[in-house]
A and B are shown apart, each in its own frame.
Chain A
Amino acid sequence: MADITNQSLNEIIENVKTKKVSSTELTKAYVKNIESAKKLNAFVTTTFDQALNNAKQFDNKPNFDQLLPGIPLAVKDLFCTENIKTTAGSNILNNFIPSYESTITKNLWDHGSFLLGKLNCDEFAMGSSNETSYYGNVINPVGDQLVPGGSSGGSSSALAADLTPATIGTDTGGSIRQPASFTGTVGLKPTYGLCSRWGIVAFASSLDQAGPMTKTIKDCAIMLEAMSGFDEKDSTSINKKKEQYSKNLKDNIKGLKIGIPKEYRVDNMPKEVDELWEKGKKILKDLGAQLIDISLPHTKYALPTYYIVAPAEASSNLARYDGVRYGYRSKQGKDLIEMYEKTRSEGFGDEVKRRILIGTYVLSSGYYDAYYLKAQKVRQLIKKDFDDSFKKIDAILTPSTPSSAFKIGEKTNDPVSMYLNDIFTVPVNLAGLPALSMPAGVDKQGHPLGLQLIGKTLDEQKILNIGYAFEKNCGFKNEIKKWWS
């Protein structure tokens, strides 16, 4: 039998259902892959024994009616997993073992899957290259010098390297879509409120959203279906009927109106990105969609707005890591204040400290109105841009990122250039909209590039459908050589 891991989630599920492969065989194959891929540093924690046990249990008493029957899954280490260490890529949580399971992972397990391990990520999901992780940087399987994107870099790397059949990440400003774009995979940031935030280590509460990362659009639909849904434990969760995204997946997009925003171009954007965008437009047009030029005039303010709102919320969200109740506590410090200072100085990395400082500053008395309040107003304008446009279109097509994967270390000393990586993804988080990054081609170095589809609130099905049609006609194939094993 051919490599049972080098397939889409949907195919793997079919193989399990038709008993071509057992859950145990599948799990063993992934364990083998993971063990031979240590160079990628995609995992912080592996749970092989537990996974093999779960697989055995499934095989003994299989239930093939589930969405994810006997499927092992690795997840970003930002999701709290019961009795399994959860670090958020930080030293300050290096010994933290939750007694609870996040709603999202619980949903996945309830659909028949089980945990394979916890995936590396930027510390507290703050980063675009997975270089801020306390557990070391992650390598992109596309090339041994390349970053896998971030913050869900362990997730994108593991997925592209066949270390998990699908995975989940979190996206605060592009942390699912940018790594997906960098690794030639699919990543979806759902509508804010579609997936519960309960049990996910918080970065910026009003922007954080979990979503699927998969090899294909169909896989993405399956995963979204399994993980999404109302959760009364999250006050920002949307109470609506559950959708059957995979069953309702259609590739007929005839007559759909696709908006092309003129503002999604940046200085020095590689020609390939522009060409790819053109290619995307042509494919959709050929499929019967109608292209409509639109303007999202406040786009240029999205990045500065994001870098006020997200750090502000983060500075407050991360206050709980104080060494008092759990996690890392410095052994030094002669009183409470000093204990705080040492614990947080030693526990947090530079990027996290930078954002805590920015966030503390923009919320400070005397600066609040000029920064935070103004950012909130701009955020409304950005949202309004989208709302206005969506009155006449069904979805928006843009590049996912202004470039392909960059080199490890290339941007670590230049935070602003790092932040610019999120320029196309950030507006979507500020507006709370769903957006999909789908692989569309490669640049001249052969590195994958993605296109982004932005949908209306709760219009995940539509962008999945467009993506599905696009995928069938794009002809992209992720050619990754397993150089690491």
Chain B
Amino acid sequence: MSKEKFDYFIKGEKGKYEVVIGLEVHAQVLSKSKLFSGSSTKFGADPNNQVSLIDSAFPGMLPVINEECVKQAVRTGLGLNAKINNYSVFDRKNYFYADLPQGYQISQYKNPIVGEGKVLLDMPYGSKEIGIERLHLEQDAGKSIHDMDPSNTYVDLNRSGIALMEIVSKPDLRSPDEVNAYIKKLRSIMRYLGTCDGNMQEGSLRADVNVSVRKEGDTNFGTRCEIKNVNSIKFMQMAIEYEAARQVELIENGKKIDQETRLFDTKKNETRSMRSKEDAHDYRYFPDPDLLPLKLEQKLIDDLKKSLPELPDKKKERFVKEYGLNAYEANVLVSEKEISDYYEEVAKLSDKKLAATWMMGDLFAMLNDRGLDISKSPISAKYFAELVQAIKSGEISGRIAKEVFEIMVESGDNPKKIIESKGMKQQSDPKELEKIINEILSKNKDKVDQYKAGKEKLFGFFVGQVMKLSGGKANPQLTNEILKKLLKG
């Protein structure tokens, strides 16, 4: 595969600018109950129906760490090839807000549970490593609802206390495409691990985006702005593009960039200042005296490591080696665990290479059109494998296969049954084909003469006629062979 060159720069009057991006991803831990209470974390409950006395910070209530959330954070850290810290501390981040019942968020500040790690991205210009600075556990806040009443704000505490993993990247990302690839890779790893469902619509994955720009070739970072709480990849990309352009314009006009927190307005497609560095909160972090430092036994970490599933990078390697796929195919097929599972089931029962081609072509197109996940595919892996095998064995042509595929999508039927009942089997009997071909040739003597005189382009015309007469069922390869033979004679 030919490699493209990285080329994402903002062009200003005075030169090209490189965009430097770092992400703080907030990923909701997949767990039955909250980080420090037994309340359910299920999405979509009626407001304030999943709130314990702890989540709503009643007097005398105390947090107790949910061990499963700790394990999930360790698993995620291991999945990010990161250092797991045997000793970590929960701190209080103090600020007042109506949807923050305690008046502080329990988070990890100086001693996070997970340290440095890395994530590999496959970009068109080669693979790129993105550094992970840290991962820490923290509580989510509740939700303030400002638009239900003209004069009151309503608060829903269902989210209050849900465990989040904040995954902080190093400022290694250089384009919206890399951000897209990074988020997708993170999500893929966490979904493989079962530590976060990655559902952005439900807010399970959100990010604060740090953006700065610098002249191409500069080694120092520019002043960054942080765009808070962006909840889709598309919006992240839009916000980065807008923000980078804004910063370049400031620089080109000889103005200073203020370090500040900004909001992305999805309706106007612009970022807006939320608060400047001077107005930044003083969170008065200090270790939460209600919680002891978290000490992890090495054995626990080792056991979790042993029980990790095969992750996308490893699986990709295996797909290349075991199934003879190219890197691109392998990459696509491991992007989601469910896709890789589906593929492996198909590959077990059919031609591995052809299965990959058909999955990435017709199957994905169909799922995409219908907005379906592969787990909801109307075609089971077993039937899909049968279809692939029918193509491979020459039982049906690729063109017929597309028709069979359509019928399978609508009916959910077994491809064999469809091929048989509709008589779609490929005509592969040389005698029968010869008969058809001879008929065509005798009907088009003029064209045969022209062909023989050197107009070889007409070969395609003959093939088309054969197909037409056979109702598309003529085996194309055989047709070619016989046609060539007869035209020579």
Binding site for B on A (CB under 8 A): 80, 86, 88, 93, 96, 98-100, 102, 197-202, 204-206, 232-236, 312-313, 315-316, 318-320, 322, 324-326, 336-337, 340, 360, 363-365, 368, 372
Chain A residues with Cβ under 8 A from B103's Cβ? 316, 318-320, 322
In the complex, residue of chain B having the shortest beta-carbon distance to the beta carbon of A344: B96
Chain A residues with Cβ under 8 A from B155's Cβ? 324
Chain B residues with Cβ under 8 A from A233's Cβ? 62, 64
Chain B residues with Cβ under 8 A from A326's Cβ? 58
Q: Is the pair A325, B65 in contact by a Cβ cutoff of 8 Å?
A: no
Q: Is the pair A325, B56 in contact by a Cβ cutoff of 8 Å?
A: yes
Interface residues in B342-376 by Cβ distance below 8 A to A read none
The 9 closest A-B pairs by CB, nearest first: A319-B103, A206-B289, A205-B289, A363-B284, A320-B57, A199-B60, A201-B59, A365-B282, A80-B60
Known A-B contacts A98-B59, A197-B60; A319 and B102 likewise in contact (beta carbons under 8 Å) = yes
Q: Is the pair A325, B101 in contact by a Cβ cutoff of 8 Å?
A: yes
Interface string of B95-123 (1 = CB under 8 A from A): 01110011110000000000000000000
- The CA of A200 and the CA of B288, in the complex, are separated in Å by 17
Known A-B contacts A233-B64, A316-B284, A336-B98; A86 and B290 likewise in contact (beta carbons under 8 Å) = no
Chain A residues with Cβ under 8 A from B101's Cβ? 320, 324-325
Interface assignment of B451: CB less than 8 Å from any CB of chain A: no
Q: Is the pair B94, A363 in contact by a Cβ cutoff of 8 Å?
A: yes
Interface assignment of B92: CB less than 8 Å from any CB of chain A: yes
10 A-B contact pairs sorted by A residue (CB < 8 Å) = A98-B58, A198-B61, A198-B62, A202-B59, A202-B60, A235-B63, A315-B94, A322-B98, A325-B57, A336-B98
Q: Is the pair B289, A313 in contact by a Cβ cutoff of 8 Å?
A: yes
Chain A residues with Cβ under 8 A from B64's Cβ? 232-235
Known A-B contacts A86-B59, A336-B98; A235 and B53 likewise in contact (beta carbons under 8 Å) = no
Instruction: Kindly identify which residue among A198, A232, A235, A364 contacts B60, using a CB–CB cutoff of 8 Å.
Output: A198
- The CA of A103 and the CA of B233, in the complex, are separated in Å by 47
Interface assignment of B459: CB less than 8 Å from any CB of chain A: no
Chain B residues with Cβ under 8 A from A232's Cβ? 64
Q: Is the pair B62, A316 in contact by a Cβ cutoff of 8 Å?
A: no
Q: Is the pair A102, B60 in contact by a Cβ cutoff of 8 Å?
A: yes
Q: Is the pair A316, B104 in contact by a Cβ cutoff of 8 Å?
A: yes
Q: Give the Cβ gap from A343 to chain B, nearest Cβ, in Å.
A: 11
Q: Is the pair B96, A322 in contact by a Cβ cutoff of 8 Å?
A: yes
Known A-B contacts A316-B103, A340-B96; A204 and B57 likewise in contact (beta carbons under 8 Å) = no
Q: Is the pair B286, A96 in contact by a Cβ cutoff of 8 Å?
A: no
The main secondary structure of chain B at its interface with chain A is loop
**Other than the known A100-B58, A201-B60, what 8 A-B pairs have Cβ atoms closer than 8 Å?**
A86-B59, A206-B289, A315-B94, A315-B284, A318-B103, A319-B96, A319-B104, A336-B153
- The CA of A363 and the CA of B53, in the complex, are separated in Å by 27
In the complex, residue of chain B having the shortest beta-carbon distance to the beta carbon of A199: B60
- The CA of A198 and the CA of B53, in the complex, are separated in Å by 12
Question: By the criterion of a CB under 8 Å from any partner CB, how many residues of chain B are at the interface?
Answer: 31
Instruction: Kindly identify which residue among A235, A336, A363 contacts B62, using a CB–CB cutoff of 8 Å.
Output: A235
Interface assignment of B292: CB less than 8 Å from any CB of chain A: yes
- The CA of A233 and the CA of B103, in the complex, are separated in Å by 21
Chain B residues with Cβ under 8 A from A316's Cβ? 92, 94, 103-104, 284, 286
Q: Give the Cβ gap from A137 to chain B, nearest Cβ, in Å.
A: 23
Interface assignment of B291: CB less than 8 Å from any CB of chain A: yes
Q: Give the Cβ gap from A432 to chain B, nearest Cβ, in Å.
A: 12
- The CA of A135 and the CA of B155, in the complex, are separated in Å by 32
Known A-B contacts A235-B65, A336-B153; A312 and B58 likewise in contact (beta carbons under 8 Å) = no
- The CA of A234 and the CA of B36, in the complex, are separated in Å by 11
Known A-B contacts A313-B289, A325-B101, A336-B153; A365 and B284 likewise in contact (beta carbons under 8 Å) = yes
Chain A residues with Cβ under 8 A from B282's Cβ? 364-365
Binding site for A on B (CB under 8 A): 53, 56-65, 92, 94, 96-98, 101-104, 153, 155, 282, 284-286, 288-292
Chain B residues with Cβ under 8 A from A102's Cβ? 60
Known A-B contacts A233-B64, A235-B63, A364-B282; A204 and B58 likewise in contact (beta carbons under 8 Å) = no
- The CA of A372 and the CA of B284, in the complex, are separated in Å by 10
Q: Is the pair B292, A88 in contact by a Cβ cutoff of 8 Å?
A: no
Q: Is the pair B94, A235 in contact by a Cβ cutoff of 8 Å?
A: no
In the complex, residue of chain A having the shortest beta-carbon distance to the beta carbon of B36: A235
Q: Give the Cβ gap from A101 to chain B, nearest Cβ, in Å.
A: 10
Q: Give the Cβ gap from B29 to chain A, nearest Cβ, in Å.
A: 19
Chain B residues with Cβ under 8 A from A96's Cβ? 59
- The CA of A312 and the CA of B91, in the complex, are separated in Å by 13
Chain B residues with Cβ under 8 A from A325's Cβ? 56-58, 101
- The CA of A206 and the CA of B62, in the complex, are separated in Å by 12
Chain B residues with Cβ under 8 A from A312's Cβ? 286
Q: Is the pair B284, A320 in contact by a Cβ cutoff of 8 Å?
A: no
- The CA of A322 and the CA of B288, in the complex, are separated in Å by 20
Most buried by A among B285, B286, B288: B286
Chain B residues with Cβ under 8 A from A100's Cβ? 53, 58
Chain B residues with Cβ under 8 A from A201's Cβ? 59-60
In the complex, residue of chain B having the shortest beta-carbon distance to the beta carbon of A202: B60
Q: Give the Cβ gap from A209 to chain B, nearest Cβ, in Å.
A: 12
Q: Is the pair A204, B59 in contact by a Cβ cutoff of 8 Å?
A: no
Q: Is the pair A235, B292 in contact by a Cβ cutoff of 8 Å?
A: yes
Q: Give the Cβ gap from B98 to chain A, nearest Cβ, in Å.
A: 5
Chain B residues with Cβ under 8 A from A206's Cβ? 289
- The CA of A235 and the CA of B282, in the complex, are separated in Å by 27
Q: Give the Cβ gap from B448 to chain A, nearest Cβ, in Å.
A: 89
Q: Is the pair A93, B65 in contact by a Cβ cutoff of 8 Å?
A: no
- The CA of A312 and the CA of B56, in the complex, are separated in Å by 22
Known A-B contacts A235-B292, A320-B101; A372 and B286 likewise in contact (beta carbons under 8 Å) = yes
Most buried by B among A100, A202, A324: A324
Q: Give the Cβ gap from A373 to chain B, nearest Cβ, in Å.
A: 9
Chain A residues with Cβ under 8 A from B56's Cβ? 325
Q: Is the pair B286, A319 in contact by a Cβ cutoff of 8 Å?
A: no
Chain B residues with Cβ under 8 A from A340's Cβ? 96
- The CA of A99 and the CA of B97, in the complex, are separated in Å by 24
In the complex, residue of chain B having the shortest beta-carbon distance to the beta carbon of A201: B59
- The CA of A288 and the CA of B103, in the complex, are separated in Å by 54
Instruction: Kindly identify which residue among A99, A205, A364 contacts B290, using a CB–CB cutoff of 8 Å.
Output: A205
- The CA of A340 and the CA of B97, in the complex, are separated in Å by 9
Q: Is the pair B286, A363 in contact by a Cβ cutoff of 8 Å?
A: yes
In the complex, residue of chain A having the shortest beta-carbon distance to the beta carbon of B56: A325
Q: Is the pair A235, B291 in contact by a Cβ cutoff of 8 Å?
A: yes
Most buried by A among B58, B61, B155: B58
Known A-B contacts A102-B60, A235-B64; A204 and B289 likewise in contact (beta carbons under 8 Å) = yes
- The CA of A336 and the CA of B100, in the complex, are separated in Å by 13
- The CA of A182 and the CA of B285, in the complex, are separated in Å by 38
Q: Is the pair A236, B290 in contact by a Cβ cutoff of 8 Å?
A: yes
Chain B residues with Cβ under 8 A from A199's Cβ? 60-61
- The CA of A337 and the CA of B292, in the complex, are separated in Å by 33
Q: Give the Cβ gap from A313 to chain B, nearest Cβ, in Å.
A: 5
Known A-B contacts A322-B96, A364-B282, A364-B284; A235 and B59 likewise in contact (beta carbons under 8 Å) = no
In the complex, residue of chain B having the shortest beta-carbon distance to the beta carbon of A90: B59
Chain A residues with Cβ under 8 A from B98's Cβ? 322, 324, 336
Chain A residues with Cβ under 8 A from B291's Cβ? 235-236
- The CA of A204 and the CA of B289, in the complex, are separated in Å by 8
Chain B residues with Cβ under 8 A from A200's Cβ? 60
- The CA of A380 and the CA of B104, in the complex, are separated in Å by 26
In the complex, residue of chain B having the shortest beta-carbon distance to the beta carbon of A88: B59
Chain A residues with Cβ under 8 A from B57's Cβ? 320, 325
In the complex, residue of chain B having the shortest beta-carbon distance to the beta carbon of A359: B284
- The CA of A339 and the CA of B268, in the complex, are separated in Å by 32
- The CA of A98 and the CA of B58, in the complex, are separated in Å by 8
- The CA of A372 and the CA of B287, in the complex, are separated in Å by 11
Chain A residues with Cβ under 8 A from B104's Cβ? 316, 319
Q: Give the Cβ gap from B113 to chain A, nearest Cβ, in Å.
A: 16
Q: Is the pair B94, A368 in contact by a Cβ cutoff of 8 Å?
A: no
Q: Give the Cβ gap from A437 to chain B, nearest Cβ, in Å.
A: 25
Chain B residues with Cβ under 8 A from A98's Cβ? 58-60
Q: Give the Cβ gap from A416 to chain B, nearest Cβ, in Å.
A: 24
Instruction: Kindly identify which residue among B59, B97, B102 contacts A80, using a CB–CB cutoff of 8 Å.
Output: B59
In the complex, residue of chain A having the shortest beta-carbon distance to the beta carbon of B63: A235
